[in-house]
Amino acid sequence: MCGRFALNAKVDTIIREFVADGGDFREWTPRYSIAPTQVTPIVRERANPETGEFQRTVDAAIWDFHPAFMKDSKRPNFNTRIETVATNGLWKGAFASSRALFPMRGYFEWTGTAGNKQPHFLHSEDGGLLAAAGIYTARKVDDEWQVSASIITRPARDASGEIHDRMPVFLESTGWDEYLSPDKLDDAGKADMVQLLTVESDRVAGTITSYDVDRKVNNTRTADPADPTLIERVDSAD
């Protein structure tokens, strides 16, 4: 799964990295611990209402997929399994035409027993930004449009698989254009897109590495998301 991640890049950096046209999320500041239900930048493409041309932007989204037809729930929907993203009624509509990328520096996973959990920070070998595949939806809340999104996950492999059995589906930059295109996919197109995600994420998985971080990240209530030491390496407790 992916239950926490870090994004310590500013919006201008994200725009440059993902070749986006901008967006309305200028108040974003780097965060070293982002948890479900919190707001995070996503990269998406939509048709410009005036020109009809596709436009790639960086926008704010709540990390908790909540389509208009779904009743409120105390359990957030922040991960979507690649095995069912194209067929499950909750996800398949968004996967057909509302795909997005979650920029992140890396993500956290834990090993150990309850009360003695060791956090690990998983990231790219070169330290660059990662692009996790996601889906998004929008609904009216108090007369304003609220965008929410979920990260697609897959069976973990390589270094990620040594820590947890699931990991985000990461895309190489060569796959961004095809994945972000808002053209609506039919069933065959969705199957092809799942195959693209599988192949791309297989390659990226081999570039992921990890190290131990301080256990203060374990508690979202007390960890300061603006604290850069949350993703600093610490000596292993082993």
40 near 128, Cβ under 8 Å? no
> How many angstroms separate the CA atoms of 101 and 44, rounded?
7
- Give the range among 61-65, 89-93, 112-116 with minimum mean pLDDT: 112-116
Q: Is the pLDDT of residue 24 over 80?
A: no
C-alpha of 151 from chain center: 4
What's the alpha-carbon Rg for the chain, to the nearest Å?
A: 17
Amino acid type, 177: D
- What is the Cα–Cα distance from 39 to 163, expressed in whole angstroms? 26
129-153 mean pLDDT: 94
For residue 72, the 8-state DSSP code is: P
Residue 82: name the closest of 169, 175, 164, 159 by CA: 169
Residue partners of 115: CB distance under 8 A and separation at least 6: none
Taking the whole predicted model, whether its pTM rises above 0.85 is answered as yes
CATH 3.40.50.300 correct for 5-231: no
pLDDT of 237 strictly over 80:
no
| 92-132 pLDDT tens trace | 999 999 999 999 999 999 999 888 899 999 999 999 999 99
Distance CA 168, CA 229 (A): 23
Residue with token string 């048709």? 47
Higher pLDDT, 44 or 236: 44
d(CA 36, CA 200): 25
Cα(first)–Cα(last) distance of the chain, in Å? 24
